[in-house]
DNA sequence: AAAAATAGTTTGAATATTCAAAATAAACTG
DNA sequence: CAGTTTATTTTGAATATTCAAACTATTTTT
C-alpha cells in the first residue's frame, strides 16, 4: 500500500499532466509548486517513485506516470471524488468546503467504506465539480471538453471546475455557475482579458477573467 | 495537532488505565503489547510524550496521562466512537467490522465532518459497543458497571464490550448479546472458568468463559 | 559565444518513528 | 542473599520525508 505521501505525488503528477492536456512530461518544478515543497525534495522523492516503478523519470526533463502509477493515481482520484460527492450529498456540506476534508479522508477510507458510499449514492459518475469518478479497471474517457478561456463565442454547458479554492467556488455558485449550467459566451476580449457570459435565465451579462476561465471546462452545445 | 502516532499512544494509555480500573500507572510493557511495538520503541516515544507534557513518566515504573494528554485522548476517543456509530447507523456496516475503519478515520476527520455526523445521529451518547462518547469539555462519568467476570449470580444488563475482535463480536451478536441485552448470571464456576447466562427470552443457558467475560461490562439490575 | 537567468540535482542534515541487541535494574526464588 | 528471571532502558542503526544551500546543466539574452 503506498503511503499518503506517495499517493499525493502520484495524484499531483496526474493532475498536472491532465491540466495542460497531454504534456508528455511533467517538470519537477511544477510539482514543487503544486505540492509546496522544495525542488530538492521533489528530485529525491521522484527518484524513489521511479525505483518503485510508479513513474518514468528522465533527469532534468521530467516525469511521467507508469502504467502502475497511473492506476494508483486513478484509485486515489476515485476515492477523492467519491468522498467529495459523499460529503456534499450525504453530509450536506457545501461544495466549496469539501476539498480539504476529502484530501485527508482519501488516504484513510477502506474499500468497504468506499463501496458503501458508492452504493449509497447509486454509483455516481461525476463529483460535485463535474469531474469524472474513475471506475476500477476502466479507462477515463478522454475529456471532450475545452477550457472556457480558449473557446469562441457560442453556447456551452459548464462541465468541470479545476480549482478547489473555496473563495472561487463560492463566487461561482453565487453567480449561478455549477456543473451542468448552460450559458452563452457573448464576447471574448483578449486585450482586457475578460469574457462575457450570458447565463440561461440570467438577466445581466457575467464578466469573468481569462485566468479564472482557464480553470473552467465547458462542453460546446449546438447553437440551437 | 498531534500526529496519528501520538494520538494512538495516548489512546492506548487511556484504554489501559481504564481497563483495570484506576491503576495509577500504566507499565510500558503493557503498552508494547497493546501497540505491538518493541519495548525500546515505547521507552523512546514515552520520553518524547513526556517532553511535550502529554504524560507523566516515572522511569522503570510507568506512565500516566497529564491533564493535557487526557484531554487529547478523550478527543480521539470521541472521534473514534462517533465514527464507529456512524459506520453502523448511517453506513449500515456491521458492528464487528467497524473498529479498524474507525481506527484509520479517527485521525483524518475534520471538526466539521465530525459535527455533521454528530448532528445527523442526534448527538448520541454511546457507541455501538455501549461505550460512552466523550463530549468536549465534559467529564466522563465514572462507569457504574462491573466486569461480567467479577459479578455474583443475579440480573444484569450488558453495558459495554471492551474487545474489538470481529470474531468475538460476531459470536456475541449471534448469541444475542448486545449492549442493552438483559440476562441473569445463573452460575459462576471459578474452577472450570465458566459462567452460565440465562438470556431474557433465551431458551437454553449460554456458557461463557471467564476470559471472555472479562471484556464485558454489565450493570446490575434489581432482582425484580 | 560569453554572460545571465532558470531549472534541476546533490549534499549534508534534521525529524519522527521504528527495530535489534546489549546493558541494567528490579523482582522473585530457592 | 546470590542467582535467575523479567521488565526497562540504552545504543546504534534504518526508513521515509523534508529542508537549505551549494553546485551544475540548460536555456535565454545580449
Q: Which tens digit of pLDDT belongs to each residue from A46-96?
A: 999 999 999 999 999 999 999 999 999 999 999 999 999 999 999 999 988
What is the average per-residue pLDDT within B160-176? 85
What is the average per-residue pLDDT within B21-40? 93
Helical residues (DSSP H) of B90-133, grouped into ranges: 99-105, 111-120
Determine the distance in angstroms separating the CA of A108 from the nearest CA of chain B, rounded to an integer: 6
Q: Do B93 and A110 touch (CB under 8 A)?
A: no
DSSP A153-186: SEEEEEEEE----HHHHHHHHHTT--TT-EEEEE
Q: What is the pLDDT of residue A193?
A: 79
Q: What is the pLDDT of residue B23?
A: 80
- Detail the DSSP E strand segments found in A19-177: 55-58, 62-65, 146-147, 154-161
| Spatial distance between the Cα atoms of A28 and A45, rounded to a whole number of angstroms | 10
Report the percentage of chain B scoring pLDDT > 70: 99
Q: What is the pLDDT of residue A179?
A: 84
| Spatial distance between the Cα atoms of A198 and A201, rounded to a whole number of angstroms | 8
Q: What is the pLDDT of residue B224?
A: 54
Domain extents for chain B?
Answer: 4-65, 146-220
Q: Does residue B5 reach within 7 angstroms of strand D, measured from its CB?
A: no
Determine the distance in angstroms separating the CA of B101 from the nearest CA of chain A, rounded to an integer: 6
Q: Does residue A49 reach within 7 angstroms of strand D, measured from its CB?
A: no
CB-based contact B163:B174 (threshold 8 Å):
no
Pick the CATH number of B4-65 from 1.10.10.10, 3.40.1280.10, 3.40.920.10, 1.10.3720.10: 1.10.10.10
Q: Answer with the residue of higher pLDDT: A189 or A10.
A: A10
Q: Which tens digit of pLDDT belongs to each residue from A156-204?
A: 888 888 888 888 888 888 888 888 888 989 888 877 778 889 988 777 8
Q: Which tens digit of pLDDT belongs to each residue from B81-106?
A: 999 999 999 999 998 899 999 999 99
Protein-to-nucleotide distance from the CA of A61 to the C1' of D16, whole angstroms: 25
- The CATH-assigned architecture of domain B146-220 is Roll (2.30)
Q: What is the pLDDT of residue B202?
A: 73
pLDDT band at A220 (very low <50, low <70, confident <90, very high): confident
Amino acid at each position: 500500500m503506498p503511503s499518503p505521501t506517495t499517493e499525493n505525488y502520484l495524484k499531483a503528477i496526474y493532475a498536472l499532466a491532465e491540466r495542460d492536456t497531454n504534456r508528455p512530461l511533467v517538470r519537477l518544478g511544477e510539482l514543487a509548486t503544486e505540492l509546496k515543497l522544495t525542488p530538492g525534495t521533489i528530485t529525491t522523492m521522484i527518484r524513489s517513485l521511479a525505483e518503485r516503478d510508479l513513474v518514468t523519470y528522465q533527469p532534468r526533463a521530467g516525469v511521467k506516470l507508469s502504467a502502475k502509477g497511473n492506476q494508483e493515481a486513478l484509485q486515489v482520484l476515485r476515492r477523492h471524488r467519491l468522498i467529495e460527492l459523499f460529503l456534499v450529498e450525504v453530509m450536506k456540506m457545501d461544495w466549496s468546503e469539501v476539498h480539504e476534508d476529502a484530501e485527508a479522508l482519501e488516504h484513510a477510507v477502506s474499500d468497504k467504506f468506499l463501496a458503501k458510499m458508492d452504493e449509497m449514492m447509486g454509483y455516481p459518475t461525476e463529483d460535485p465539480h463535474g469531474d469524472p469518478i474513475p471506475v476500477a479497471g476502466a479507462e477515463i474517457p478522454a475529456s471532450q471538453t475545452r477550457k472556457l478561456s480558449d473557446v469562441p463565442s457560442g453556447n456551452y454547458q459548464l462541465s468541470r471546475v479545476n480549482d478547489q479554492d473555496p473563495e472561487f467556488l463560492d463566487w461561482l455558485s453565487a453567480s449561478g455557475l455549477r456543473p451542468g449550467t448552460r450559458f452563452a459566451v457573448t464576447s471574448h476580449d483578449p486585450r482586457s482579458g475578460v469574457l462575457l457570459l450570458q447565463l440561461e435565465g440570467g438577466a445581466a451579462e457575467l464578466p469573468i477573467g481569462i485566468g479564472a476561465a482557464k480553470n473552467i471546462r465547458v462542453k460546446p452545445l449546438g447553437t440551437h
